[in-house]
Amino acid sequence: MARWLIPLVLGGASATGFEPLGWWWMTLLCFAGLIALIERAATLPRALWSGWWFGLGHFTIGLNWIATAFYFQDAMPHWLGWIAVVLLSLYLAVYPAAATGLAWRWGRLSLIPLSFIFAAAWLVTEWLRATMFTGFAWNPLGVTFVGVASIARWIGTYGLSAIVIISAGAVAAAGAGRWRQALALTLPAVITLIVFAAAPRPPAAPKAPQIHVVQPNINQNEKQSEELAARNMARLVRLTGPSPGRPRLIMWPEAAVPYYLEQEAWARSGLARLLRSGDLLLTGGDALVYDRDGNLMAARNSLFALDASGRILARYDKSHLVPYGEYLPMRPLLSAIGLSRLVPGDLDFLPGPGPQSYALPGFASAGIQICYEIIFSGHVVDESHRPDFLFNPSNDAWFGEWGPPQHLAQARLRAIEEGIPIIRSTPTGISAVIGADGRVLGSIAWHHAGAIATTLPSPLPPTPFARLGNILPFLFATALTAIAIAVRRRSR
């Protein structure tokens, strides 16, 4: 029993390093325990199973917020939420298993090469997890170090995850009383963090545009109620407030308006009355898709930019959709057995073309990443037209207490990697203004209504990661592997 129970418990406890608990030290201790299990494994299958059971616990606890989404979809039984979390974790655990198997196969002769190979393997398998089968990039290990994550501008989030593994190797060595190995593993991690930690602070812009970020505190069950639609809109209007005289860029959450803005002119006119000359409103809403014969066939999860005359200046369509959330794979089969997607409605959403930048007259160039899209490292910016900031309208009202702070932490990593400020507006929180160095400059707490009235933070020059993307973490993985091979040969 201990063969599976110990790694399962270690994996579950390791997830407490993510928000909202943020116990990064627990993550280090648990990964140190996993490294000890790999080192002591007598066979490759035993190492693989240790990694798999660890991953099962790690993802089941870290992704517990997914289960709460099922409470807002009466078309499916609510208890199915926890089954979905476990089933997803059964698959995701394959990636830690692969990393532990590689570490055992190529690094088991000594703790130093084992730790370096494990770090490189975790980096690669974490990237694979974010890529395979549309990808699921949630909670990369590096996000537990978000407080000291400036190095991500050089080696990206996946490289930061490797630093976590190397640090855990140092803890494992210290726990076994192997102080020379602990020092040898600690020094590279500490030196790397210190050398690359000095990120430039974004310059203050004396005439920066005025922004107004709204969080209405409308829960998911309230949002889906037709009887509360008027009250919900009134709350958005009240929190938007009157214009102070200076043009504002007003930001509302994902799917904030229940209207089809392209078809319903009266809805555009009503929103335009909130704006003064020079103001712009960025709001989430749905766009309808028709076939050549004019028949309604699908929808898009979109972000609209409206001016004070009610014109739609731009529309961004979400590209990276959530399977089972915004569309139902194999719909004829799954709908026949009573399953549905989590977002209510019979129409599936269609994906948009990917990251795009939009010039907003009187303000700045904006990139849009709707909700889930912001978690994909290296895939959030239109590289040919680098924006001045990213707007991340989200709807985290589905996801309990753990999902929103985890989402915010990952958005902070995107800001650091790209050197671009990120603005988040969500119905129930956590809405925030994030500087280009990853600092949270202003936020509204979970389940509080409010607005952030401030100026738009300045971007930094393109970071090394912004220029080269995930080539950099792969180069880092190659360097770690080379060091591990050299140490192995010397130890022989």
Q: Is the dihedral of CA 162, 165, 169, 175 positive or negative?
A: positive
Determine how many CB atoms are found less than 10 A away from the CB of residue 132. Answer: 13
163: nearest Cα among 413, 376, 441: 413
**Residue 183, CB half-sphere, CA atoms under 13 Å: how many?**
3
- 476 vs 364: CA distance, rounded Å: 34
19 close to 405: Cβ distance less than 8 angstroms:
yes
Determine how many CB atoms are found less than 10 A away from the CB of residue 462. Answer: 16
Q: What is the dihedral of CA 237, 238, 244, 249, to 10 degrees?
A: -40
Beta bridge partners of 368: 391
DSSP for 67-99, written as a single string? HHHGGG-TTS-TTHHHHHHHHHHHHHTHHHHHH
List Cβ<8 Å contacts ≥24 apart for 430-433: 430/396, 430/404, 430/405, 431/213, 431/214, 431/215, 431/253, 432/408, 433/211, 433/213, 433/457
3-state secondary structure of 248: strand
- 178 vs 166: CA distance, rounded Å: 15
Q: Is the dihedral of CA 405, 406, 411, 414 positive or negative?
A: positive
DSSP for 181-244, written as a single string? HHHHHHHHHHHHHHHHH-PPPPPP-TTPPEEEEEE----HHHHT-GGGHHHHHHHHHHHH----
- 332 vs 326: CA distance, rounded Å: 16
Could you give the residue numbers annotated as active site?
Answer: 254, 318, 371
- 151 vs 162: CA distance, rounded Å: 12
Q: Which residues contact 403 (CB under 8 A, 6 or more apart)?
A: 65, 66, 68, 396
- 24 vs 145: CA distance, rounded Å: 7
Distances (CA, A) of 404 to 144, 193, 411, 441: 15, 27, 11, 17
- 117 vs 14: CA distance, rounded Å: 20
